Amino acid sequence: MKATLPERTRGVCCAAPKPLSTTEADRRVALLKAIADPTRLQMVGILKRANDPVCICDFTATFKLSQPTISHHMARLREAGLVDVTKEGLWAYYRLRTSLDASTLAILETVA
Rounded to the nearest angstrom, the gap between the alpha carbon of residue 73 and the centroid of all alpha carbons in its chain is 12
SS3 53: coil
Phi, psi of 57 (to 5 degrees): -65, -30
Per-residue pLDDT of the chain (112 residues; tens, 9 = 90+): 788 888 888 888 888 899 999 999 998 999 999 999 999 999 999 999 999 999 999 999 999 899 999 999 999 999 999 999 999 998 999 999 999 999 899 999 998 8
Chain length of the chain: 112
CB neighbour list of residue 25: distance below 8 Å, 6 or more residues apart: 18
Rounded Cα gap, residues 112 and 104, in angstroms: 11
Encoded amino acid at 97, one letter: R
